[in-house]
Amino acid sequence: MTTITDAIAPPPKHAPDLLGQPRGLAWLAGTQFWEAFSLYGMQALLTLYMVGQLLLPGHVENVVGLAATRAAIEGITGPLSTQAFAVQLFGLWAGLVRFTPVFGGLIGDRLLGRRRTIMLGCLLMTAGHFCMAFDGSFLLALFLLMLGTGCANSNLFSQVGAVYPPGDRRRDDGLQLYYFALNCGAFVAPIVCGWMGAALGWHQAFSLAGFGMLAGLLVYWRGSRHLPPDPPRIAATARAPLRPQEWHAVRLLLVLMLVQAAFWIAQSQVWNVYNLWVRDHVEMAVLGWQVPIPWLQALDAIAPGLLLPPTLWLWRWQARRGWEPDAITKMAIGCLIFGSGMAWLALADLVFGGARVPLLWAVGFHMLSNWGWVFFTPIAVGLYARAAPKSLNAMMIGVNSMAVFVGSTVSGRIGGLYEVWGAGRFWLLHAGIIAGGALLLLALRPAVRRLLVVADATDS
């Protein structure tokens, strides 16, 4: 799969800039807003919907293929309660949604072209959300959403780079604006879809996400004339074999991906079992009005933007004194901060003795966990881009995202312990998992440091 910096056709010269950026960026950002709106709106509702309605008598019998799917999953896991099955199914879906963009990029690069693949992805996601409006087509909906996200996500990202000429310094600013649009969609979606789910019903909320994705498709189609043509299809070519040092880098990065999964096990529970914990333990009434549970998910979209400036200031202050941690140490610190957030959830049982937890306690958790995210996730992407062999750079960045797939899948399996162990013990388990990941990262630090020294020397 190509990267966004590959040689590409220049953007159309007739399109004037918009606010100092290529006009095509605005259309891509608008498409990404709606893609994020649909995906994060769905994600915020899914576990609550399965546990609260779909898997209950009167509905579960109508889902086509669910009995066979449950039998296949329980053939691996053993018998599962309704709630345990719901969190397991969510974990599998969330992992696959973050795995399919690797193949979507290959389809865009080598088969259909990016434009057609993005439009196909938007259509599949639209169809998937509308299928969520009916019990019977639930599994088909998950499948369509998984495929659609894979087709749209990576190709949209590639086209962001394609609107800039080679060497254009505005690219970095454009990527920040693009991610801002993504975060806006991720912030608005849980609020709007969560309110609609509570006020009008689950199916209406999922249909709204479908109309949102349809709007994204129309935005992309309308703005496609401002985008450069697709680059020529990539043909398979013979590559020089990797040198021993490059093979060493690949092996080390694969090990690092597995270690990173400890972070994503905990993060994935925020999308999954955490919603059930909020339902069971948090006082969501404010001045007599019941705050929809998915609204807390909106904090995960806005908190990184609030926490990034003081974190960057901290790193610069440390750098001036020669104390700034290296990349792998920052990732370990991020795990420990996130782990403290998991411990914060476990502590609620002791502090409140089984009574409802104040809403601010949950807000405090989101601030802690997202500060850990700032230390961990962007740093991991930069480390892979810096350390991976140049001939495999894009693929190894994709391997980095595989940690999300592994973590989400495992989190679904252990999510069934929530109703068996109780909340305090369950969250302490996750604090221990992510703290163990921090220790493994620190154990790998000498090897990663040596790898980065070699990579930097090769680039210079």
Are 18 and 26 in contact by the 8 Å Cβ rule? The answer is: yes
Residue 10 within a domain: no
Looking at residue 392, what is its pLDDT?
Answer: 64
SS3 13: coil
Pairing of strands 285-286, 289-290: antiparallel
Residue 367 has pLDDT above 70, yes or no: yes
Looking at residue 460, what is its pLDDT?
Answer: 54
Report pLDDT digits (tens) over 314-355.
Answer: 988 998 988 888 889 999 999 999 999 999 999 998 888 878
Please, what's the b/e burial string for 176-215 (b: 16 or more CB within 10 A of its CB; e: otherwise)? ebbbebbbbbbbbbbbbbbbbbbeeebbebbbbbbebbbb
Report pLDDT digits (tens) over 168-211.
Answer: 666 656 666 777 888 888 889 888 988 888 888 888 888 888 88
Report pLDDT digits (tens) over 57-101.
Answer: 999 999 999 999 999 998 988 888 898 899 999 888 988 888 887
Question: What is the average pLDDT across 30-41?
Answer: 88
Looking at residue 11, what is its pLDDT?
Answer: 46
d(CA 107, CA 101): 10
Kindly state the greatest CA–CA separation across the chain: 67
Do 256 and 224 fall into the same domain?
Answer: no
Looking at residue 438, what is its pLDDT?
Answer: 96
What pTM was computed for the model? 0.79
Do 224 and 254 fall into the same domain?
Answer: no
Amino acid letter for position 168: D
> What percent of the chain clears pLDDT 90, i.e. is strictly above it?
30
Number of domains within the chain: 2
Looking at residue 7, what is its pLDDT?
Answer: 35
Do 124 and 205 fall into the same domain?
Answer: yes
d(CA 260, CA 338): 13
Residue 359 has pLDDT above 80, yes or no: yes
Looking at residue 175, what is its pLDDT?
Answer: 66
Instruction: Indicate which CATH number applies to the domain containing 361.
Output: 1.20.1250.20
CB atoms within 10 A of CB 170: 16
Closest CA to 362 of 344, 350, 375, 378: 344
Phi and psi of 70, rounded to 5°? -65, -40
Residue 126 within a domain: yes
Residue 78 within a domain: yes
Looking at residue 274, what is its pLDDT?
Answer: 93
Looking at residue 180, what is its pLDDT?
Answer: 80
Do 288 and 175 fall into the same domain?
Answer: no
Please give the mean pLDDT across all residues of the chain: 84
Residue 9 has pLDDT above 70, yes or no: no
Do 220 and 256 fall into the same domain?
Answer: no
> What percent of the chain clears pLDDT 70, i.e. is strictly above it?
88
Do 109 and 77 fall into the same domain?
Answer: yes
Residue 103 within a domain: yes
Residue 14 within a domain: no
Which of 229, 262, 282 is where one domain is finished?
229
Owning domain of residue 308: 244-460
